């Protein structure tokens, strides 16, 4: 059963029979990420935790990994840590945002975007002892 589950995971992730027989040390960063996701989904656990699951994966590979993760069963949950809002939107029904080690908000991607997505606060502190035009010019570079 476990062997069949492992083969199924490798196949869903796009590993060829040749890839499966190679030493992991020969894999690219993207292939290692795919393998770690494969290991996480073997046996269909109820909860998987993934940290930056698509780091070092090319765009095509990223989309493929997302489709594999989106295909998980209704009885399965994933906790995903990522810096990518695009990835969070693609994979998560609820998103929590953490700032300096503390959770600041929790909600759907749409709710968070509506609440926080359209505003940016930029604070520029200028040195009053230097000419203003030089400082403004320096900001535009």
Determine if the pTM surpasses 0.75.
no
Spans of all domains in the chain: 2-139
Q: Give the right CATH number for 2-139 from 3.40.50.300, 3.20.20.80, 3.30.70.100, 3.40.50.620.
A: 3.40.50.300
Per-residue pLDDT of the chain (141 residues; tens, 9 = 90+): 777 877 888 888 888 888 888 899 999 888 888 889 888 888 889 999 999 999 888 899 899 999 999 988 889 999 999 999 899 999 999 999 998 899 989 999 989 888 887 666 677 888 888 888 888 888 877
Whole-number Å distance between alpha carbons of 3 and 5: 5
pLDDT (0 to 100) of residue 136: 83
pLDDT (0 to 100) of residue 1: 76
pLDDT (0 to 100) of residue 44: 86
- Strands 95-99 and 77-81 come out as unpaired
pLDDT (0 to 100) of residue 77: 92
pLDDT (0 to 100) of residue 121: 65
Q: What DSSP state is assigned to residue 101?
A: T
pLDDT (0 to 100) of residue 63: 92
Q: What DSSP state is assigned to residue 24?
A: G
CA 134-135-139 angle, to 5 degrees, is 115
């Amino acid at each position: 059963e476990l062997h069949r589950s492992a083969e199924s995971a490798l196949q869903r992730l796009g590993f060829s029979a040749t890839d499966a027989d190679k030493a992991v040390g020969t894999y690219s960063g993207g292939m290692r990420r795919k393998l770690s996701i494969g290991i996480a989904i073997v046996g269909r656990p109820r909860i998987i935790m993934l940290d930056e699951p698509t780091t070092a994966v090319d765009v095509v590979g990223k989309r493929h990994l997302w489709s594999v993760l989106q295909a998980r069963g209704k009885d399965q949950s994933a906790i995903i840590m990522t810096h990518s809002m695009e990835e969070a939107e693609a994979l998560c029904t609820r998103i929590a945002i953490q700032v300096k080690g503390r959770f600041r908000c929790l909600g759907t991607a749409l709710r968070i975007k509506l609440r926080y997505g359209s505003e940016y606060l930029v604070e520029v502190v200028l040195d009053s002892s230097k000419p203003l035009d030089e400082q403004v010019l320096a900001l535009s570079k």
